[in-house]
Amino acid sequence: MRKAHSKLFTPGPTEVRSEILQAMAVPQVHHRSPEFTELYAALQPKLQRFLHTEHPVLLFTASSTGAMEAAVQNCVRKRCLNLVNGAFSRRWHEITAGCGLPCDALEVPWEKAIKPEQVEDKLRSGKYDAVTLAYNETSTGMLNPLAEIAEVVGTFPDVFFLVDAVSAMGGVDIDVDGLGLDVCLAGVQKAMALPAGLTICSVSERALARAETVNPRTYYFSFPVMLKYHKRNQTPSTPSISHMYALDVQLDTMLDEGLEQRFARHDAMARIVQDWAKRHFDIYPEQGYWSKTLTCVKNTREISVADLNRKLVEAYGMRISNGYGELKEKTFRIAHMGDLTVAEVHGLLGVIDSILGL
């Protein structure tokens, strides 16, 4: 049986507005009908404007992990460098290795950001033709220096830059073409604030061209197959059409709210939670690289995070996240992304204060 809903302050899935849920509850159109191609065609320019790109933005009916697999399958010809400083960036290394592609991990301590010099050092070996980065490491609340790393990668013409922007897209501005990102992907259940099941994935022309030559050992995640249908405003297989209706509404809302306002709201929410965390606890990642969409709080008071979350859920209908994997109970994570408001974030922190007697 369904219990009362708890508002999600978790870094994915995130809270979804009822307008978005209602946008999904529409009669289905057939995916080979003109109504569908109209929907698909309407989404493209909005996605391109939102991501500052002129390249195709593919839509995978899959969670982000599927598109991460697609990126390496289609873009690694020689050898991939996986930049690792958390659980999701490590997953990308596991995916790359699991697909049987040659790869190495450059792993740094998880509380440290990936620095451009470290990337440059590795790429100078000439061994690599692709690099993966988790822009916003959701397991540690770390916003890696995307622009600086992109600048370094850009100096190696054969190296393609594959970016997991999963918990960033929709919360921070991403200038895909300006930064020269070859693949930039994000599942929609994080800062896009939609239910899980769809992933947005921009792909550069040269990545599409390379995908034609690597012969990816995948059909569902093949860029060339996707592209063939994309050109007719369709997808190769039956997509989650409901998601696409919801995405259309959400993009309209974002573009109406004004992207600048949306990102400013994320800045404001981040500052509020960071200030609170510094006052009562500490913040896990090194200063200067704190995420704008979630804060990973170091549990310096050694509270029981599980107890806190139980009280939040049972008495207040709110939910936060424990630390990820080994960071469980050592940290906890408060998401401030998507369609949450400054007022809701203040509300959550006030409730935590009263539960913990802060």
Ligand X SMILES: *Cc1c(COP(=O)(O)O)cnc(C)c1O
Is there binding between residue 69 and ligand X (CB under 6 A)?
A: no
Is there binding between residue 274 and ligand X (CB under 6 A)?
A: no
96-104, 153-161, 163-171, 208-216 -> range binding ligand X (CB under 6 A):
163-171
Residue (of 27, 133, 50) closest to 85 by Cα position? 133
120-128, 132-140, 202-210, 318-326 -> range binding ligand X (CB under 6 A):
132-140
Evaluate whether 154 touches 126 at the Cβ level (below 8 Å).
no
Q: Which of 134, 246, 270, 340: binder of ligand X (CB under 6 A)?
A: 134
Residues from 72 through 91 that contact ligand X (CB under 6 A): 88
What does the alpha-carbon distance between residue 24 and residue 193 come to, in Å, rounded to a whole number? Answer: 13
Q: Which of 10, 53, 74, 138: binder of ligand X (CB under 6 A)?
A: 138
Name the region of 357 (left: φ>0; alpha: ψ -120 to 50; beta: rest): left
Q: Which of 164, 169, 246, 333: binder of ligand X (CB under 6 A)?
A: 164
Is there binding between residue 167 and ligand X (CB under 6 A)?
A: yes
Residue 64 or 74: which CB sits closer to ligand X? 64
Q: Which of 44, 65, 118, 253: binder of ligand X (CB under 6 A)?
A: 65
Is there binding between residue 63 and ligand X (CB under 6 A)?
A: yes
What does the alpha-carbon distance between residue 270 and residue 337 come to, in Å, rounded to a whole number? Answer: 9
15-23, 44-52, 63-71, 241-249 -> range binding ligand X (CB under 6 A):
63-71
Is cis: bond before 116, omega within 30 of 0? no
Six-digit token string for 237: 């297989």
Q: Which of 171, 187, 216, 338: binder of ligand X (CB under 6 A)?
A: 187
| Single-letter amino acid, residue 331 | T
Tell me how far, at minimum, the Cβ of 275 lies from ligand X, in Å. Answer: 24
105-113, 160-168, 206-214, 311-319 -> range binding ligand X (CB under 6 A):
160-168
Q: How long a stretch of residues is the chain?
A: 358
Q: What helix, strand, coil percent values describe the chain, rounded to 5? A: 45, 15, 40
Tell me how far CA of residue 235 lies from CA of 47, 157, 169, 210, 264, in angstroms.
16, 31, 22, 20, 34
Residue (of 296, 298, 340) closest to 136 by Cα position? 296
| Residues in touch with ligand X (CB under 6 A) | 12, 63-65, 88, 134, 136, 138, 164, 166-167, 187, 190, 196
